[in-house]
């Protein structure tokens, strides 16, 4: 159920974490810490403050946040939000060759960087995702860590749009 910003700002911490803690995949600590900076002045302010929590988290916490996300195109059990997002761009309808390529690239990416490939899929398609995965495999570890965190921020913003009424 979406909430107004006023409702979000008045929620007890536990209720806020229940409402928004899921937007950072299996990492409710982001919402819990961000709750201390309420009231949020706007939707953008809420997003910025939640992202600030991630930016100021320890390196270990940030790596754990990245690792909490599933591989794109996985057929394993994943969160309902990840399932819906991936279905929305056709990752559940890959051809056998596309699926094999995605598995191969995901494996290479995870071996190189130590976390799954992250891409905010909303508004994209399977071809752009595969192209980005192939291209980002060429990144340096530091550049890719920063890009993965940017993608997590975008994913969280898209998810928060379903939590907060405009």
The DSSP annotation for 73-141 comes to: T--S---HHHHHHHHHTTTTS--HHHHHHHHHHHHHHHHHHSS------TT--HHHHHHHHHHHTTS-H
Contact 137/102 with Cβ under 8 angstroms? no
CA-nearest of 126, 124, 132, 120 to 156 is 120
Clarify whether 69 is annotated catalytic: yes
Catalytic site residue from 33, 69, 126, 159: 69
- The span from the CA of 160 to the CA of 54, in Å, is 15
DSSP secondary structure letter of residue 36 = G
Residue whose pair of structure tokens reads 């130590």 in the numeric block: 114
Residue 126's CB: how many other CB atoms inside 10 A? 21
Distance CA 148, CA 136 (A): 10
As annotated, the active-site residues are 69
């Amino acid at each position: 159920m979406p909430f107004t910003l006023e409702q979000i700002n008045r929620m007890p911490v536990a209720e806020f974490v229940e409402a928004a803690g899921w937007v950072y995949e299996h990492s409710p600590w982001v919402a819990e810490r961000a709750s201390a900076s309420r009231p949020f002045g706007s939707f953008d302010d809420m997003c910025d403050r939640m992202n600030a929590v991630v930016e100021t988290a320890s390196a270990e916490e940030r790596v754990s946040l990245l690792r909490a996300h599933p591989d794109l195109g996985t057929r394993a059990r994943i969160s309902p939000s990840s399932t819906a997002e991936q279905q929305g761009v056709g990752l559940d309808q890959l051809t056998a060759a596309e699926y094999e390529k995605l598995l191969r690239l995901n494996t290479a990416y995870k071996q190189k960087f130590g976390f799954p490939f992250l891409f905010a899929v909303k508004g994209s398609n399977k071809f752009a995702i595969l192209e980005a995965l192939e291209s980002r495999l060429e990144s340096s570890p530091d550049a890719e860590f920063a890009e993965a965190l940017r993608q997590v921020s975008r994913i969280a913003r898209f998810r928060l749009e379903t939590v907060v009424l405009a």
